[in-house]
Every structure is written in structure tokens, then in C-alpha cells.
Structure 1
Amino acid sequence: MAKKVLVVEDNELNRKLFCDLLRAHDYTAEPVSDGREALAAAKNHTPDLIIMDIQMPHVSGLDLIGELKGDAGLKSIPIMAVTAYAAKGDEERIRTAGAESYVSKPISVVKFIEEVRTLI
């Protein structure tokens, strides 16, 4: 059975790219365009991995990671942050929030898939 990946990304092109890449590598991709829906989607789909943008409207990806990791039923799901944040200290803040992995945008397709495989 294909591993399920929840993709939380507000940018339509990035969301489509990530989902297409995942599906091309035999993963099931569940897209979510609004971070405010991510917690409920994670509970409904019980994904094997969550790929999350950090900078989204309405909700901070860092806060959302904290909420996911604070939920007893979701805390064991690995989170891969994908973000345009590339300033010094950003990766550390993202990992401190609870993300197991960090990939900067623009993504390298090879690195993206390697990180997914490493996490699930």
C-alpha cells in the first residue's frame, strides 16, 4: 500500500509540483491549501509524512508544527518543512519547532524525494 503524504502548501504551483512528484514516486498525496485545515486533515488522513510550507497566510507553519507535535495522535508523524526561508538560524528554528527535515525553495527534485524516502 502506498505511503500517504499530507502536503500543506498555499502556493498552487508548489502544491501541484510536490503532489505530482510524490505520485510519480508511488506515494499518495493529500493536498491542503490552507494551513488552518492542516490539523483536521492530518487527523482525517493519518499520513505517514507531512510536508509543510512555513510561510503561509492565516497561520505560521512554525505554530502549526507545534500544534501537530503537541497532539498525542499526530506527534509521531515526521514533518518535512519546505520553505523559502534561507536566512541563518531559520533551519534551527524550524527543527526546534519539531520538524524532522528542512528543504529550501526552490527545491531540488532529487533532494526532495531523497528526504521523503529518508523520513518514511
Structure 2
Amino acid sequence: MANWIFLTCYALIIGHELDAIHQKEWRIFPGTNLLPDQLGFQVFNALHVPLFILLNWLFFLSTPAVMTAAKFWFALFAIAHIGAHWLYRNHKEYRFNNPLSKFLIWAPGVFGALYLAITF
């Protein structure tokens, strides 16, 4: 059961990252917000490839101890991610105001909390 809850948290974050591209999150994200728009999009998008390779390795291909620790920290991240969006909610480029975007921000945090509650 815990594995399904974690996978749901992870899948929801991936969904959020797809939405983040649609919502032009690079215009908010520190670093990419300083780049010209097209370059910011390209960098933001391209950085997700090694990020997801690393996360998939940590969650599914590393040692059991590393997998456990990585899932713990990712679940905490999913919760803290809600706070990050709350902090940036008044940024002039913030576009995560529709129901799907809000769901894809909140739901991973809920599943991350649930995962932590039943696992640790």
C-alpha cells in the first residue's frame, strides 16, 4: 500500500511539472526567471530530464537504504512544495490559479504526508 501511495505522489508531481511548463513557471523560478523567455523555457524543460533520471534511479534502482531515504525526503519535498507555491502566489508571473493546477500542487503533498504517516 505504501508503495502505491508513494507512486501516486510521484506521478502527481510529474503531472505538476507538465503543468508548470504550461504555466511558464520558469518566469518565477529563481535563475530561469533572469533568462530571455525562450531560453528560460528551454533550460527549465531540459533540466527536468536529468532530474527525473536521478529520481527514478533513487526511487527504483538504488540500494534499499537509499530508496527509503530518497522516498522520505521526496515526500517531505511534496509537502514543502505547497509552501513554496503559497510564498510565490502573489508573484506577477504566477499562473497556477486554475483548479487543475491547484490540485497538482496540493495532491502530491497530501499523498506525501500520507506516505510518511504510514511508513515512518
Report the TM-score when normalising by structure 2: 0.24
Kindly indicate which of the two structures has a greater share of residues assigned to strand.
Answer: 1
User: Greater relative contact order: 1 or 2 (C-alpha under 8 angstroms, separation 6 or more)?
Assistant: 2
**Bigger Rg, which one:** 2
